[in-house]
């Protein structure tokens, strides 16, 4: 079959492959290779699912060893040694050192399924229907998760009802002078505002798909305070920016809040395998057995890869330091490039999720297309796809970051098209 014929077998719903129209064959660390052997630096990073790069040798060896020993691949949610080792390791390396007391729920293996479970448990615990979400939020595309997702492009993809959600302005949505938590508080405290007290507020600390919008620590703290005061559950969707992306394992660590529910997925397996969990404060874990179920709850191969990932990267402090060193280099390089070539551009982000808001969608598209031609894969995000998102694997070497920056710089058009 010719390439074009093969491609048209897949539904029109395919998306990333349209922006990067080659056929990829292999991948290692921060690189992808197409079938003609051309190499690309991968700053798309599986939208944050490949924080440890492609095919990390030690993780891969553990998975292969497990398979070679006839380790159990599928077991519904039966207890397995792979699950036991994951739970023990996650407790010892992630929860205990951070003094976090959470129960761990395995949901279906996608982020959106874990979001569904989070919304369900919040409604079940509080007996309330409403959920509050924020402008530009992205939480997935199954019905419940879609209802708390802001972008009309995704919302229009469903004729189903997306009810019982109120959207409120995210941090800085109304400019720097408006404190959007004060705004939200006014609605929730006024019995006559027309907005029902919600079961939960769901939020990303940095909106990954929504344009790399960062909520300040102060904003998160005020939100947390408001939730505690009004007995609303706070759900942090850490699917994209958790697992080290911002420089700490959880993105909210610096703000010292303790969400009632945390959703993790994308990079949790460490190897790009499907895997999602909810972390629940013990007192809200009121599920009856199997009440939220799914055939693929807990993926044994992902348990194995995640356990090895945690041991390799999160048993030492060094990794957080490395992330922050790399982040500094990426940020400085982008600042210089913006100053020289994109005078109206705005840099946002934290740790190793950075966004360059080009203000003009056509310009962002032109730059990412040219970057791709030049061997660097970059995604666009934001309400009009006007933001170029830099999401390198956290293990990307400084050399590769610098090389990517040279490619990015030379992919910016000169002359009239410049901002
Ligand atoms: C990707 C993502 C989701 C959805 O996860 P899927 O595995 O694609 O269903 C939800 N929330 C955030 C913040 C995400 O980045």
Q: Select from 15, 16, 112 the residue to mutate for testing ligand 1; criterion: most ligand atoms less than 8 Å from CB.
A: 112
The residues that bridge with 131 in the sheet, in sequence order, are 165, 200
Per-residue pLDDT, 419: 46
Q: What confidence score (pLDDT) does residue 415 get?
A: 63
Q: Is the CB of 149 under 6 A from ligand 1?
A: no
Q: Which tokens go with 234?
A: 């706070």
Which numeric CATH code is attached to 3-56+317-410? Answer: 3.90.1150.10
Burial class (CB in 10 A: 0-12, 13-18, 19+), 207: buried
Taking only the tens of pLDDT, the chain with its 419 residues reads 887 788 789 999 999 999 999 999 999 999 999 999 999 999 999 999 999 999 999 999 999 999 999 999 999 999 999 999 999 999 999 999 999 999 999 999 999 999 999 999 999 999 999 999 999 999 999 999 999 999 999 999 988 889 999 999 999 999 999 999 999 999 999 999 999 999 999 999 999 999 999 999 999 999 999 999 999 999 999 999 999 999 999 999 999 999 999 999 999 999 999 999 999 999 999 999 999 999 999 899 999 999 999 999 999 889 999 999 999 999 999 999 999 999 999 999 999 999 999 999 999 999 999 999 999 999 999 999 999 999 999 999 999 999 999 999 999 998 644 44
CATH of 60-313, one of 3.40.50.300, 3.40.630.30, 3.40.640.10, 2.70.70.10: 3.40.640.10
| Cβ of residue 208 lying under 6 Å from some atom of ligand 1 | yes
SS (H, E, C) 89-105: HHHHHHHHHHCCCCEEE
C-alpha 391/C-alpha 374 separation (Å) is 17
The answer, yes or no, to whether any atom of ligand 1 lies below 6 A from the CB of 237, is: yes
Cα 206 from Cα 246, distance rounded (Å): 9
Q: Is 116 in the pocket of ligand 1 (CB under 6 A)?
A: no
The model scores a pTM over 0.85: yes
Task: Tell me whether strands 213-214 and 206-207 are parallel, antiparallel or unpaired.
Answer: antiparallel
Task: Tell whether ligand 1 has an atom less than 6 A from the beta carbon of residue 112.
Answer: yes
In the chain, list all ranges with CATH 3.90.1150.10. Answer: 3-56+317-410
- Ligand 1 touching residue 265 (CB < 6 A): yes
| Residue 138 beta carbon below 6 angstroms from any ligand 1 atom | yes
Q: How far apart are CA 340 and CA 409, in angstroms?
A: 9
Ligand 1 centre to CA of 119 (Å) is: 14
- How far, in Å, from the CA of 367 to the mean position of ligand 1? 25
Rounded Cα distance, 203 and 261, in Å: 11
Q: Of 148, 129, 210, 168, which is closest to residue 385 (Cα–Cα)?
A: 210
Query: Is the shortest distance between the CB of 239 and ligand 1 below 6 Å?
Result: yes
Q: How many residues make up the chain in this entry?
A: 419
Q: Is 110 in the pocket of ligand 1 (CB under 6 A)?
A: yes
For 24, left (φ over 0), alpha (ψ -120 to 50), or beta?
A: beta
- Of 338, 252, 263, which Cα lies nearest the Cα of 113? 263
Question: Where does residue 152 rank: exposed (0-12), middle (13-18), buried (19+ CB within 10 A)?
Answer: exposed
Atom of ligand 1 nearest to the CA of 276: 7
Sequence-ordered list of residues with C-beta below 8 angstroms from that of 144, at least 6 positions apart, any chain = 115, 116, 119, 120
Å from CA of 118 to ligand 1 middle: 13
Q: Residue 16 C-alpha to ligand 1 middle, in angstroms? A: 15
Nearest atom within ligand 1 for CA of residue 266: 7
Q: Please report the atom of ligand 1 found closest to the CA of residue 237.
A: 13
The CB of 272 under 6 Å from ligand 1? The reply is: no
Instruction: Decide: 274 in ligand 1 pocket, CB within 6 A.
Output: no
Query: Where does CATH 3.40.640.10 sit in the chain?
Result: 60-313
């Amino acid at each position: 079959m010719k390439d074009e014929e093969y491609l048209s077998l897949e539904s029109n719903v395919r998306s990333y492959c349209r922006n990067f129209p080659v056929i990829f064959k292999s991948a290692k660390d921060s690189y992808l290779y197409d079938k003609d052997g051309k190499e690309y630096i991968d700053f798309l990073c599986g939208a944050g699912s490949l924080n440890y790069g492609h095919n990390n040798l030690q993780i891969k060896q553990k998975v292969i060893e497990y398979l070679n020993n006839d380790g159990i691949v599928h077991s519904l949610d039966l207890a397995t040694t792979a699950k036991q080792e994951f739970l023990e390791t996650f407790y010892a390396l992630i929860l205990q050192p951070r003094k976090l007391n959470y129960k761990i729920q395995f949901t279906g293996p996608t982020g959106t399924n874990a979001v569904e479970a989070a919304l369900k448990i919040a409604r079940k615990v509080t007996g309330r229907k409403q959920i509050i979400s924020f402008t530009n939020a992205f939480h997935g595309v199954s019905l419940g998760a879609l209802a708390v997702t802001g972008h009309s492009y995704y919302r229009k993809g469903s004729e189903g009802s997306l009810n019982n959600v109120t959207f409120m302005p995210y941090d800085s949505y109304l400019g720097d002078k408006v404190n959007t938590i004060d705004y939200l508080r006014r609605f929730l405290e006024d019995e006559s505002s027309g907005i029902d007290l919600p079961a939960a507020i769901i939020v990303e600390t940095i909106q990954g798909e929504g344009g790399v919008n960062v909520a300040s620590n102060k904003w998160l703290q005020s939100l947390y305070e408001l939730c505690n005061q009004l007995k609303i559950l706070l759900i942090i969707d850490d699917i994209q920016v958790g697992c080290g992306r911002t420089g700490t394992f959880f993105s909210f660590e610096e703000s010292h809040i303790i969400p009632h529910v945390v959703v993790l997925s994308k990079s949790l397996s460490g190897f790009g395998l499907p895997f999602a969990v909810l972390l629940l404060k013990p007192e809200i874990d009121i599920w009856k057995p199997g009440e939220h179920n799914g055939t693929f709850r807990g993926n044994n191969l992902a348990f194995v890869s995640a356990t090895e990932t945690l041991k390799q990267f999160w048993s030492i402090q060094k990794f957080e330091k490395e992330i922050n060193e790399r982040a500094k280099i990426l940020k400085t390089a982008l600042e210089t490039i913006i100053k020289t070539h994109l005078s109206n551009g705005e840099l946002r982000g934290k740790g190793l999720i950075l966004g360059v808001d080009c203000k003009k969608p056509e310009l962002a598209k032109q730059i990412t297309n040219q970057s791709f031609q030049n061997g660097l894969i970059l995604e666009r995000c934001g309400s009009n796809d006007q933001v170029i998102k830099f999401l390198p694997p956290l293990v990307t070497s400084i050399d590769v970051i610098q090389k990517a920056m040279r490619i990015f710089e030379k992919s910016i058009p000169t002359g009239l098209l410049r901002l």
